[in-house]
Amino acid sequence: MSTSISSNGHLDLSRRRLLQAAGVSIAALALGVPRKLPAAVATTGSSAATIRSRLILLGTAGGPTPKVDRSAPANAIVVGGDIYVIDCGNGVARQMVKASLDLGRIRDVFITHQHSDHNADYGNLLLLAWATDLHTPVNTYGPPPLERMTELFLEMDAYDIGIREKDEGRPPLAPLIRPHEITRGGPVMHDANVKVSAALVQHPPVAPAFAYRFDCPDRSIVFSGDTGPSGNLIALAHGADILVHEVIDLKAIDKVVKDEAMATRLRAHLEAAHTPMSEVGRIATKAGVKTLVLNHFVPGTPPIPDQAWYDAVKPHFKGRVIVGHDLMEL
Alpha helices in 2-115 (DSSP H): 16-22, 27-30, 92-98
Cβ atoms of 122 and 140 closer than 8 Å:
yes
Distance of CA 110 to the CA centre of its chain: 9
Q: Of 82, 24, 31, 17, which Cα lies nearest the Cα of 217? A: 82
**CA of 88: how far to CAs of 73, 91, 94, 126, 256, in Å?**
7, 8, 11, 10, 26
Other CB atoms within a 10 A radius of the CB of residue 65 amount to 12
Alpha helices in 133-249 (DSSP H): 146-156, 158-167, 231-236
Cβ atoms of 322 and 293 closer than 8 Å:
yes
Cβ atoms of 94 and 329 closer than 8 Å:
no
Q: List, by residue number, the catalytic residues.
A: 117
Other CB atoms within a 10 A radius of the CB of residue 223 amount to 29
Please tell me the distance from the alpha carbon of residue 12 to that of residue 9, in angstroms, as a whole number.
9
